[in-house]
Structure 1
Amino acid sequence: MITVEQAEQIILAQIEDYGTEEVPFEQALGRVLAKDFLADRDLPPFNRVTMDGIAIKYSDIVDGVNTFRIAATQAAGDEPIAIETNNECIEIMTGAALSGDLDTVIRYEDVEITNGNARLLTNDIKQGQNIHLKGKDKELGNVVASSGQLVTPAIISLAASVGAVLLTVKKLPRVMIISSGDELVDVNDTPSDYQIRRSNSYTIKAALKNHGLDADTIHIPDDPEVTKTQIQNCLQNYDVLLLSGGISMGKFDYIPQALEDLQVNKLFHKVQQRPGKPFWFGKHAKGAVVFAFPGNPVATFMCLHRYFLSWLHATLGLPKQTAIYAQLITDFNFAPPLTYFLQVKLSYSQQAVLQAQPIEGNGSGDFANLADTDAFIELPANRNEFKKGEVFPVIKF
C-alpha cells in the first residue's frame, strides 16, 4: 500500500498531450489556450475619452482661460471633431475618440454650462487627464493572451475586442464514467428495499462539467463477461476511464480482473488514506488511463478532486495549483495510520484567516454530508492528534 504522495507522483507521471482544436471564442470558457492571440490593432485604437465633459487644449489653461465656447458636441462612435480657435471646447462623451488637437478632458462635474459656454469650477486640472491613450494597453501585434492560460470571462472579452473569433485550445481527453453493481438502479426507477439509486456517476459528471469537460456515462452489471466486454469497448474509444465501485475484495468485484485481462497495467492498488483506501490506478497498453475509485460516494468524490483533477490540470499544461491552507477551529483525533481527508466547512475569521470546522458525517457512504461541507482538509498519517489552531492543506469542492 502506497502513500498519498506516492500515488500523486505515479498519477502525474502519466500525463498525456491530446492535441489542439479551434473553437468559437464564446464557447472557449474554461478551456486552455494552446496558441497566443494578438492585437489586430492598438488597444485602445484611439485616444479614448474616459469621462463625460468637455475636451480642450491644455495650452488654454496655461494662458489662463477660464471659460470656453462650446464648438460642437461629439458622441462615442462619432468621427473626432477638431476646434478651429483657442478658447473653444468640444462637449464630449465617454468612449468618444479625441481629436489630435485636443489633449485634456474636464468632467461635467467641474464645469458650469450656460448659453453655449463652459466655465471652469476648479483649478485642479492636469494635462492629459481623463484620456486613455491610443495603444496604452496593447499595440498592434502584441500578444493579448498567451498559450497556457485558462480562458476566463476576461479572456473572452479580449478575444471579442480583437476579433479573435476562433481560439486554439488544448483538446480535452475523452472521458467515460463507469458505475457498476446490481444494487444500483437508475435514478428514474424505484429501488427495492435493498437497492439504491445511482448517484456517483452524476456527481462525477457534474464536477467535471465545472472544469469544461463533458463526460459520457455507462453502468455495468455484476457479470464478469459483460464487465470485460464493456471495459474493452471503453478502452478503445476513450482516453480516460473513471470507474466507481467494484474494485475491492468482494466476490462480485470483477473490475480488477477485467482490467488485468485487458492489458491495463496496474500502477497501484490501495492508498494509505481514508476515505478511498481501495483506489486503483493503471494505464492501458494503448494509452488510456484508468482511475478506479471506491464505490462509496464520499470516497469517489474525494479521489476525483485529490487525484484526477490534478492530473487533468497537468495534462492541459496548467501550472500546479498553489496549495490552500486552513486552520482547524477545534481539536480532532484520528487513530488509524492513514492520511485522513476530513470533511470541513470553511469560513474566514475577522482577522481574514481561513478556518475549517470539522463535520465528520457517518463515514464514506454518507454522501448527504457533502451538502453541508465545502472542502476536505488533509490530515497527515504520521500522527493522531490535531489541535485547534494548527494549519493543514484543504481541497475545496
Structure 2
Amino acid sequence: MMSFDEAFSAVLHHKIELGIEEVDLLQSTGRVLAEDILADRDFPPFDRATKDGIAINFSVIEKGLKKLRIEAVVSAGMPQQKLGDIKNCVEIMTGAVVPQNADTVIMYEHLDIKDGYSNISRDVKKGQDIHKKGSDVKTGTVLLKKHTKIGPSQIGVLASVGKSKILVRQLPKVCVISTGNELVDVSQIPLPHQIRKSNILSLFTALEKEGIEADRIHLQDDKESIKKELSHILEEFDVVMLSGGVSKGKFDFIPEVMESLDVRKVFHRVAQRPGKPFWFGTQTKLNTVVFSFPGNPVSTFANYHIYFLPWLNVSLGQEDKKYQVVLDDTIEIKPPLTRFIQVKTYLDEGNFHVRIIRENGSGDLTSLANSNGFICLRPRENAYEKGELVPFIASKTII
C-alpha cells in the first residue's frame, strides 16, 4: 500500500500533454491561455482627461491669467482637437483626448463659468487630471502570460487588445463511469436492495465547473461486458474516471479488466481515509489516464479534489495551489493512515479557521453538503493542536 505523498506525486507525474485550440472570446471564461497576450498599442492610447472641466495651456497660469475664453467643447470619442489660442481654454469631458497645445485639465468644481468664459478659483498644478499616453502600458508589453486562467477581469484585458479569438489549452475528454448492479437512475424508485446513482452525477457536475463536458456511462457487474465497453472507452477518451469496482469484493472487476486491456497499474490502495481503495493507472499506447475511485460517496468526492483537480491543473500548465487553515480542535492522527477530514471554513481576524463536520463514514452524503473542503492530516505521534496551521483542500467557496 502506497503512502498518500507517494500516490499524490505519482498522479502528478503522469500528467498528459493537452493540445491547443482557438475559441471565441466569450467562450474562453475558465480556460487556460496558450499564448502570451501583448498590448497592441499604448494604454491609454492618448493623453486622456480624467475630469470634466476645461483644458488649458499651463503658461496662462504662469502669466497669472484666471479668466479664459472657452473656444469649444470636447467630448469622449471625438478625434483630437486643437486649442487655437493658448490664452483660451476648451471645455473637456472625462475620457476625451486632450487637445493639442493643452497640457493641464481643471475640473468644473474649481471653476466659475459664465457668458462663455471660465474663471479659475483654485490653485493649479501643471499636468493635473491628465492620464498620460502609455503611462499604464507600452505597446508590446505582456499583459497576460501563457497559462493564465481566464476570468472576468482577463476577458476585459483580452477585449481591450482586440482578441476576439483566443488560443487556449484543450481540456481533456473525460468519460465518467459508474459500476454496480445495485445502482438505478435518479428517476426510479429503488427497491430495498438498490440505491440511486449519485457519485456519477457529483463527478459530472464537478467536471462541468472546470468547463469539461464529460460523457456518462453505467456498467453492470459483468466482467466481459466491462472489458468490452472499456476497450472502446480507453481509445476515445483522455481520462477515464470510475466510481466503484476497485475494492476486494468478488464483483470488483476493474483492476483485473484494466490489466487485461494493458492499462498499467501505477498503484492500488493508498494509506489514507477516506478513499483507501483508490486505483490509478495509464494506458501508455493510447495516452489515457484512469482514475478509479472507491464507490463510497465521500471517498469518490474526496479523491476527485485531492488527486484529479491537481492533476488537471498541472496538465494545463498551472501550479497546484496550496492552502492552509487554522485548526479549531486538537486531533490525534496515529500511523499509518493520512486523514482527510471534512470541515467548514470561517473567517476570524483575517485568518481562515475550520470547524470539523461530523460524519457517519464514507457513505454519509449529507456531510458533503455541510462542508466546503477537507483538511489533510498526515499521521504523526504528536497530536495536531488547536491553533495549528494545516493543509486544506477546497471543494466549494471557502467562506
TM-score scaled to structure 1, two decimals? 0.95
Partner of 1:360: 358
The code of the aligned residue for 2:373 comes to A
C-alpha offsets along residues 186-205 of structure 1, whole Å, 9 cap, x if unaligned?
12222222222111122112
* Residue 336 of structure 1, CA deviation: 5.9
Asked if 1:379 corresponds to 2:377, the answer is yes
Q: Distance in 1 between matches of 2:372 and 2:67?
A: 61
**Structure 1 counterpart SS, 2:270:** coil
Match of 2:36 in 1: 36
Distance 1:126 1:202 in 2: 64
Aligned to 1:21: 21
* Structure 1, gaps ≥5 residues long: none
Paired residue for 1:119? 119
Q: Map of 1:105-254 to 2, 5 A cutoff?
A: 105-123=105-123, 125-254=124-253
Matched to 2:212, the amino acid is L
What CA deviation, in whole Å up to 9, does each residue of 1:278-334 have, x standing for no partner? 01100013210101111111111111111111111111111232x211111122344
1:386 alignment partner, SS class:
coil
Task: Specify the code of the residue in structure 1 equivalent to 2:354.
Answer: A
Deviations along 1:102-126, one digit per CA (max 9) or x if unpaired, are 1112222222322222223321x32
Give 1:129's aligned amino acid.
Answer: Q
Structure 1 residue 21, shift from structure 2 partner: 0.9
The alignment yields a C-alpha RMSD, in angstroms, of 1.6
Distance 1:177 1:253 in 2: 17
Distance 1:226 1:109 in 2: 80
Deviations, residues 345-389 of structure 1 (Å, cap 9, x unaligned): 11111x212111111211111121111111111111124732211
Counterpart-to-counterpart distance in 2, 1:194 and 1:52: 74
Alpha-carbon contact 1:177-1:201 (below 8 Å) kept: yes
133-142 or 209-218, which deviates more: 133-142
Amino acid at match of 1:197: R
Q: Which residue of structure 2 lines up, in the alignment, with residue 302 of structure 1?
A: 302
Q: Contact 2:42–2:134 at 8 Å: present in 1 too?
A: yes
In structure 1, what is the Cα distance between the partners aligned to 2:295 and 2:27? 33
Q: Equivalent residue of 2:203, what SS?
A: helix
How far 1:43 moved relative to its partner? 2.0
Name stretches of at least 5 consecutive residues in structure 2 with no aligned partner.
none
CA contact (8 A) 1:48 1:98 kept: yes
CA-to-aligned-CA distance 1:241-278 (integer Å, 9 cap, x gap): 11111110112111111111111000000111111000
C-alpha contact (below 8 Å) 1:328/1:355 kept by paired residues: yes
Answer yes or no: is the 8 Å Cα contact 2:55–2:99 preserved in 1. Answer: no
Larger mean CA deviation between 285-294 and 49-58 belongs to 49-58
Identity of aligned residues (%): 44
Q: 1:166 to 1:56 in 2, by over 3 A?
A: same
Contact 2:333–2:378 (CA<8 Å) still a contact in 1?
no
Q: Which residue of 2 aligns with 1:50?
A: 50
Show structure 1 runs of 4+ deviating over 6 A. Answer: none
* Contact kept? 1:337, 1:383, Cα under 8 Å: no
Kept in 2: contact 1:81–1:90 (CA 8 A): no
How far apart in 1 are the matches of 2:120 and 2:368? Answer: 62
Post-superposition shift, 1:335? Answer: 4.8
Q: Equivalent residue for 2:82?
A: 82
1:364–1:109 distance in 2 versus 1, CA, 3 Å:
farther
Find the aligned partners of 1:388 and 1:93 in 2 and give their Cα distance.
Answer: 58
Shift of 1:29: 1.2
The answer as to whether partners of 2:325 and 2:391 remain within 8 angstroms in 1 is yes
Is the Cα contact below 8 Å between 1:306 and 1:395 reproduced in 2? Answer: yes
Q: Quote the residue 1:95 is aligned against.
A: 95
Q: What SS does structure 2 have at the residue aligned with 1:272? A: strand
Question: Within the alignment, does 1:2 sit opposite 2:2 as a pair?
Answer: yes
8 Å Cα contact 1:341-1:379 kept in structure 2: yes
> CA–CA distance in 1 between the matches of 2:29 and 2:156?
11
8 Å contact 2:247–2:277 — kept in the other structure? Answer: yes
Verify the 8 A CA contact 2:83 2:100 in the aligned structure 1: no
Aligned amino acid, residue 32 of structure 2? V
CA distance in 2, matches of 1:226, 1:165: 46
CA–CA distance in 2 between the matches of 1:384 and 1:234?
46
Q: Which deviations, in whole Å up to 9, do the C-alpha atoms of 1:160-190 show, x marking residues without a partner? A: 1111111111111111111111111112222
- Letter of the 1:378 partner, please give it: C
Instruction: Specify the SS of the correspondent of 1:332.
Output: coil
